[in-house]
Chains A and B, each alone.
Chain A
Amino acid sequence: MSTFWSLWIIILTSTNLVLLFWILMANRKRAVKGEETKEAQTTGHEYDGIEEYDNPLPRWWFWMFILTFVFSIGYLIIFPGMGVWKGVGGWTSVGELRGHQQEAEAVYAETYGVYSKMPIDEVAKNPDALKMGFRLFANNCAICHGADGGGNPGFPNLTDKDWLYGGTTEKILETITHGRKAAMPAWVGVIGEESVVDVAEYVLQISGGEHDAAKAEKGAKVFAANCVACHGADGKGNQAVGAPNLTDKTWLYGGKPATIRQTIRDGRNGVMPAQQELLKEDRIHLLAAYVYSLSLEGSN
């Protein structure tokens, strides 16, 4: 805050306080014309024969006002209200936030802590843990993988037994914690557009789809020269590098010929973001258990 605005606030606030206090004190007594009676006067307003009494306010009202002055002055000394003045209480909004965060962490640590010491396959059988896991999943994972974990184009289905990087509890934990970066290069520059089509036909062939046998035969040679390094000689993939199995009918981006050609031509760069900074260890432990439980069910 610049000095000007700081001064502006200080002057405005103190002027207000002084002014209000002056109004309160200056109007404590008022001259009233009339007899020496305690009878209240009227204000002089009259409507339909109804007159308004000019009664004094009760004194506790006055003292309440004084009390608010005392409070506000005390408040301005303790808390940062006067421009750059930090207040003697040492209060900051960041400190308040940190305090709340610590409190929340302490509360959750107790809830999650029970499970973070258990092995993941044990946790995956605990209904209470799965309820918590479901909620964490809904808040953090469902936006890509779907509320039921069934995936979306480009985002793996977590409910089947088909795993890009491995479906053991350790691998799932690793994937959530550190994230994954898929790297299917664009091949059109290397093998040319014609071979892209041929390889696509070959891939369709090994996955048992409709294909052009002649093109597939040519494609097989291109595949052997360029693709086996990752996807393996039989096209069954390699979980160590996250290369998908091409012989099943599970397609991450879609199994139509055009989609497969696009994948080969332009490559794919899927990213699973690392969660360790966002979710911390105990939540990831629960999530891994939940995801593991999804694959155990193995629905569609």
Chain B
Amino acid sequence: MSEKPASEQKSEDVIRYVSLYEADDKIYTRRITGFYQRLRRYTGIPLMAGFLLMPWLVIDGRPAMLFDLPARKFHILWLTFWPQDAMYLAWLLVISAFLLFTVTVLVGRVWCGFTCPQTVWTQMFIWAEHVCEGDRNKRIKLDAQPWNFEKIWRKSAKQSIWIAISLVTSLTFVGYFMPIRDLVGGFFTVDLDLVPLFWVLLFLGATYMNAGFMREQFCKYICPYARFQAVMYDKDTLTVSYNNIRGENRGPRKAGEDYKAQGVGDCIDCSWCVQVCPVDIDIRDGLQAECIDCGLCVDACNSVMDKMGYPRGLISFTTEDAIQNGKTKVFRPRLIGYALMLGIMISLFVYSIAIRVPVGLEAQRDRGVRMYREVEDTIQNVYTLKISNMDRATHIYDLEVDGDFPFVIQGYKAVPAVEGEVLTIPVRIAVKTSELTSTKSEIHFRVRARENPEITATNTTTFIGP
């Protein structure tokens, strides 16, 4: 930035130096009750309960959700996913993306305000703050006053609750990756391996830092969703908005006065909407990237409107079209498109899960010095079969081959595979020299569970001859 010498500047052009790196202002949120605050609590409770209970639940003798990284198997409810099921994960990510698009087009950033872990945990931490240190004014006063007994005990009580919440969070989270009973037991009897202990402490620290100190900074500077959500908005997207037509000009007024005659709008400029905001913005400035659509300013404004005897909804969940034209077009091409894609993706996902067969077969031809062998009047190829039993029962797999020639299986003996086992079995396939007419031909292997012929898998490879 070029700088003119001070003498050339006009008197109002005062040069001010600002730091490029600013200390963030601590936000003291005012506690508010109202519809959206209650909604936040009631969406948060089942989410938290689900998160906390899921690793403890047992289905068919195994945790309801366990990402078993050493064994490379993901147990989710009744399903077990193997590395070769990575496709389902891709499907799931595509579904999540489209779900996010659809929801964003329809109701804006409700994910942020009501269900995002950053928000939910921040909400819990603010609750601890409120319980231990009192409401906004008390907290400001407490922070300003010198350290004394009251400040120390209030602060340490708050910190204890924070750390306790963080510990529960990190133990639960790590519990998704290793059996939680061993983990919690080991943690409290100080008998935990270094690696799980490291992860527990890391997530404890991360939760504590995030919900205790990062809070809205995360939404403002780090979260990628905040960056691109704006492109999904349109004029009919439901979002928290200030009705500036009704509210302006804002200003204080005496009770019972005919304020409209003085040219002031419904906004009394009490700044409650700013005080309750967890990201410290003024919603009256319009749509902002920081706004997480949590609706607390709506609650705050409504309570003020009630006091003033004005109609509610000066700040409300509404759309740009509703403010400007009084009408919202809900079914618009963009929404229909997203919803349609979402529907297709979910159907495909459910279908592919439903037709999933819990056996995998891989056949690999020997890459030996010579790939085929002549024994008497036959040509033989050796294959290594990998049969993965992905079912939750023991099965015996029978082998069939099929191809261009009358192939004969030699040296394959069906052996039982217990659940989750990968059998590696060599098998020799022979064909009569007189029958074989081409040097390379296709050969199809098929395994079938003896008890349940539905469980079958095929694999195609090649047979090499002279």
Q: Inside 8 A of B410's CB, which chain A residues have their CB?
A: 299-300
A149 to B382, CA, bound (A): 10
Q: Inside 8 A of A155's CB, which chain B residues have their CB?
A: 368-369
**Closest CB in chain A relative to B2 CB, distance in Å:** 10
A143 to B17, CA, bound (A): 74
Q: Which residue in B12, B366, B426 is a CB contact (below 8 Å) of A35?
A: B12
Decide if B427 is an interface residue (CB 8 Å cutoff). Answer: yes
CB contact under 8 A between A34 and B16, given known A59-B21, A59-B24, A152-B368: yes
The contact string, 1 if C-beta is below 8 Å from chain A, for chain B 173-201, is 00000000000000000000000000000
A147 to B426, CA, bound (A): 6
Decide if B18 is an interface residue (CB 8 Å cutoff). Answer: yes
Asked if B368 and A28 sit within 8 Å, CB to CB, the answer is no
Q: Inside 8 A of B370's CB, which chain A residues have their CB?
A: 152-153
A267 to B417, CA, bound (A): 47
Q: Inside 8 A of B382's CB, which chain A residues have their CB?
A: 146-148, 150
Q: Which residue in B9, B17, B217, B424 is a CB contact (below 8 Å) of A58?
A: B217
Asked if A32 and B15 sit within 8 Å, CB to CB, the answer is yes
Q: Inside 8 A of A300's CB, which chain B residues have their CB?
A: 375, 410-411, 428
Q: Which residue in B9, B14, B24, B424 is a CB contact (below 8 Å) of A134?
A: B424
Decide if A142 is an interface residue (CB 8 Å cutoff). Answer: yes
Q: Inside 8 A of B258's CB, which chain A residues have their CB?
A: none
**Closest CB in chain B relative to A257 CB, distance in Å:** 14
Decide if A258 is an interface residue (CB 8 Å cutoff). Answer: no
Given contact pairs A147-B383, A150-B382, A299-B410, enumerate 15 new A-B contacts (beta carbons under 8 Å).
A28-B20, A29-B19, A33-B9, A33-B16, A56-B18, A56-B20, A56-B21, A58-B24, A142-B366, A142-B426, A143-B368, A147-B426, A153-B370, A153-B373, A300-B411
**Closest CB in chain B relative to A271 CB, distance in Å:** 12
Closest 5 CB pairs of A and B: A62-B21, A148-B426, A147-B426, A56-B22, A147-B384
Q: Inside 8 A of A27's CB, which chain B residues have their CB?
A: 20
Asked if B384 and A57 sit within 8 Å, CB to CB, the answer is no
Residues 117-141 of A at the B interface (beta carbon under 8 Å): 134-135, 138
Residues 130-176 of A at the B interface (beta carbon under 8 Å): 134-135, 138, 142-144, 146-155
Decide if A36 is an interface residue (CB 8 Å cutoff). Answer: yes
Decide if A31 is an interface residue (CB 8 Å cutoff). Answer: yes
CB contact under 8 A between A31 and B384, given known A142-B368, A152-B368: no
Decide if B3 is an interface residue (CB 8 Å cutoff). Answer: yes
Decide if A4 is an interface residue (CB 8 Å cutoff). Answer: no
Decide if A47 is an interface residue (CB 8 Å cutoff). Answer: no
Asked if B14 and A36 sit within 8 Å, CB to CB, the answer is yes
- For B20, B373, B382, which residue has the most chain A Cβ atoms within 10 angstroms? B20
A31 to B17, CA, bound (A): 4
Decide if B307 is an interface residue (CB 8 Å cutoff). Answer: no
A153 to B374, CA, bound (A): 8
Q: Which residue in B12, B21, B411 is a CB contact (below 8 Å) of A150?
A: B411
Q: Inside 8 A of B20's CB, which chain A residues have their CB?
A: 27-30, 56-57, 62
The contact string, 1 if C-beta is below 8 Å from chain B, for chain A 1-29, is 00000000000000000000000000111
**Closest CB in chain B relative to A101 CB, distance in Å:** 21
Q: Inside 8 A of B19's CB, which chain A residues have their CB?
A: 28-29, 56, 59
Q: Which residue in B17, B24, B411 is a CB contact (below 8 Å) of A148?
A: B411
Residues 51-94 of A at the B interface (beta carbon under 8 Å): 56-62
Decide if A185 is an interface residue (CB 8 Å cutoff). Answer: no
CB contact under 8 A between A254 and B21, given known A31-B1, A146-B368: no
Closest B residue, CB atoms, query A55: B22
Decide if B23 is an interface residue (CB 8 Å cutoff). Answer: yes
Decide if B149 is an interface residue (CB 8 Å cutoff). Answer: no
Q: Inside 8 A of B424's CB, which chain A residues have their CB?
A: 134-135, 138
**Closest CB in chain A relative to B289 CB, distance in Å:** 10
Decide if B150 is an interface residue (CB 8 Å cutoff). Answer: no
Decide if B367 is an interface residue (CB 8 Å cutoff). Answer: yes
Closest A residue, CB atoms, query B9: A33
- For A36, A61, A143, A147, which residue has the most chain B Cβ atoms within 10 angstroms? A147
Decide if B377 is an interface residue (CB 8 Å cutoff). Answer: no
Q: Inside 8 A of A62's CB, which chain B residues have their CB?
A: 20-21
Interfacial residues, chain B to chain A (CB-CB below 8 A): 1, 3, 9, 12-24, 217, 221, 366-370, 373-375, 380, 382-384, 410-411, 424, 426-428
Q: Which residue in B12, B18, B221 is a CB contact (below 8 Å) of A61?
A: B221
**Closest CB in chain A relative to B359 CB, distance in Å:** 20
Asked if B366 and A146 sit within 8 Å, CB to CB, the answer is yes
**Closest CB in chain A relative to B158 CB, distance in Å:** 21
**Closest CB in chain A relative to B410 CB, distance in Å:** 6
Q: Inside 8 A of B369's CB, which chain A residues have their CB?
A: 143-144, 152-155
Asked if B18 and A148 sit within 8 Å, CB to CB, the answer is no
Q: Inside 8 A of A150's CB, which chain B residues have their CB?
A: 373, 380, 382, 411, 428
Q: Which residue in A147, A153, A154 is a CB contact (below 8 Å) of B366?
A: A147
**Closest CB in chain B relative to A132 CB, distance in Å:** 12
Closest B residue, CB atoms, query A137: B426
Asked if B384 and A254 sit within 8 Å, CB to CB, the answer is no
Q: Inside 8 A of A35's CB, which chain B residues have their CB?
A: 12, 14
**Closest CB in chain A relative to B253 CB, distance in Å:** 26
A236 to B143, CA, bound (A): 100
Q: Inside 8 A of A154's CB, which chain B residues have their CB?
A: 369
A30 to B12, CA, bound (A): 18
Asked if B427 and A148 sit within 8 Å, CB to CB, the answer is yes
Closest A residue, CB atoms, query B3: A31
A29 to B368, CA, bound (A): 70
Q: Inside 8 A of B375's CB, which chain A residues have their CB?
A: 300
Asked if A30 and B14 sit within 8 Å, CB to CB, the answer is no
Asked if B373 and A30 sit within 8 Å, CB to CB, the answer is no
- For A29, A57, A60, A148, which residue has the most chain B Cβ atoms within 10 angstroms? A148
Asked if A36 and B16 sit within 8 Å, CB to CB, the answer is yes
5 A-B contacts (beta carbon < 8 Å): A30-B17, A143-B367, A143-B369, A150-B380, A151-B373
Asked if B15 and A33 sit within 8 Å, CB to CB, the answer is yes
**Closest CB in chain A relative to B251 CB, distance in Å:** 20
Asked if A29 and B22 sit within 8 Å, CB to CB, the answer is no
CB contact under 8 A between A33 and B428, given known A144-B369, A146-B366, A151-B373: no
Asked if B373 and A32 sit within 8 Å, CB to CB, the answer is no
**Closest CB in chain B relative to A280 CB, distance in Å:** 23
- For B14, B22, B427, which residue has the most chain A Cβ atoms within 10 angstroms? B22
Asked if B22 and A57 sit within 8 Å, CB to CB, the answer is yes
Closest A residue, CB atoms, query B383: A147
A134 to B19, CA, bound (A): 68
**Closest CB in chain B relative to A177 CB, distance in Å:** 22
Asked if B21 and A57 sit within 8 Å, CB to CB, the answer is yes
Asked if A146 and B426 sit within 8 Å, CB to CB, the answer is yes
Closest B residue, CB atoms, query A56: B22
Closest A residue, CB atoms, query B10: A33
A287 to B12, CA, bound (A): 90
Q: Which residue in B12, B21, B411 is a CB contact (below 8 Å) of A299?
A: B411
